[in-house]
Amino acid sequence: MSNDMPAVTSVEGIAHEIDSPGGNLFLWEKPSPTRETKGTVLFVHGSSMASTPTFDLQVSGRPDASVMNWFAGRGFDTWCFDCRGYGRSAKGDDILATISDGAEDAAAASEYIMAKRNSGPLMVYGISSGALRGALFAQRYPERVARLALDAMVWTGEGSPTLVERRKKLDQWRGQTRRPIDRAFINSIFTRDHAGTVEEEFGAAFADQILALDDSVPNGTYIDMCANLPVCDPEKISAPTLIMRGEFDGIAGLDDLLAFYAKLSNPWKEFTIMPGVAHASFSQKNYLLVYHILHGFFSRPNPAYTG
């Protein structure tokens, strides 16, 4: 890693709560401590946990466990939010929290952020079903997205052994709005693809902080990913786009993502394989590699000539 990157220090967070079509949404902000920011990043979480354990993970003596700290310390204003049905946002047995719902939650969050902070279009990062939420948000609201990073995503679901197994429970997912989660389930996220990829300190803290917010989560994204793919159209995504895939990811099929990448309409598009990384990239032993890949994409200058 480059030695000229600034040291990471903890940044104080700011909680926000907004009304949205799906009920109240919890937003969490960690602003850049510098006056001039390099951009505003909106992080979008996945199917089985709220936003802050994923993006603002707290580990004693390890401020860089929080990707929000890491980016804020490098001049970015950072935000995440809990989709409806998760964490500190609206919950209820009537909230299925589909991928489409998540895209609209991102829209509500983006509208608030852009008005509150006069930020201009956002840099959007989504992981797993959060990548699908982010992609659909970018498709529906192109004027709000400056750059789009999609990590651990599926498009059609082809070549995904995890989804093959998950489809065996599709009737169960359809029969209830929420599914229980526990420590064993969270640990399975770290072991199902390739044992040994996860930073041990991060994994334990991740489970603790997820379960402090939720003991169950909505089934909408599981149903969508098992039965309703594709839910977004790469030809209708106009933002510069980065596709990030862990070497050992059992959900994000390589050929599936390459086909998605080929159809992206903007010629500014990038595809990266992250070595030694499985599905939950920010908790991996190679998390700093992941951070640097994302930072490189978000910090590149706009092209001076486009032809």
Tens of pLDDT along 161-201? Answer: 999 999 999 999 999 999 999 999 999 999 989 989 999 89
Average pLDDT over residues 35-61: 96
Average pLDDT over residues 132-142: 98
> How confident is the model at residue 9, as a pLDDT?
84
pLDDT band at 4 (very low <50, low <70, confident <90, very high): low
Q: For residue 52, tell me if it sits in a domain.
A: yes
Q: Give the structural domain span for 139.
A: 14-299
Q: For residue 2, tell me if it sits in a domain.
A: no
**DSSP assigned state of 61:** T
> How confident is the model at residue 3, as a pLDDT?
46
Average pLDDT over residues 21-44: 95
Q: For residue 254, tell me if it sits in a domain.
A: yes
pLDDT band at 6 (very low <50, low <70, confident <90, very high): confident
pLDDT at residue 227 is higher than 90 = yes
pLDDT at residue 261 is higher than 70 = yes
**Count of domains for the chain:** 1
pLDDT at residue 307 is higher than 90 = no
Average pLDDT over residues 108-136: 98
pLDDT band at 36 (very low <50, low <70, confident <90, very high): confident
Q: For residue 95, tell me if it sits in a domain.
A: yes
**DSSP assigned state of 141:** -
Exposure of 166 in the CB half-sphere (CA atoms within 13 A): 21
Tens of pLDDT along 79-109? Answer: 999 999 999 999 999 999 999 999 999 999 9
pLDDT band at 62 (very low <50, low <70, confident <90, very high): very high
Q: For residue 7, tell me if it sits in a domain.
A: no
* Beta-bridge partner residues of 246: 274
CATH number of the domain bearing residue 185 = 3.40.50.1820
> How confident is the model at residue 30, as a pLDDT?
97
Beta strands in 23-101 (DSSP E): 25-30, 40-44, 77-82
Tens of pLDDT along 240-249? Answer: 999 999 999 9
Burial classification of residue 38, based on how many CB atoms lie within 10 Å of its CB (0-12 exposed, 13-18 middle, 19 or more buried): middle
The DSSP-derived string for 104-127 is HHHHHHHHHHHHHH---SEEEEEE
Q: For residue 8, tell me if it sits in a domain.
A: no
Asked whether the CA dihedral 275, 280, 286, 289 is positive or negative, the reply is positive
Q: For residue 306, tell me if it sits in a domain.
A: no
Q: For residue 291, tell me if it sits in a domain.
A: yes
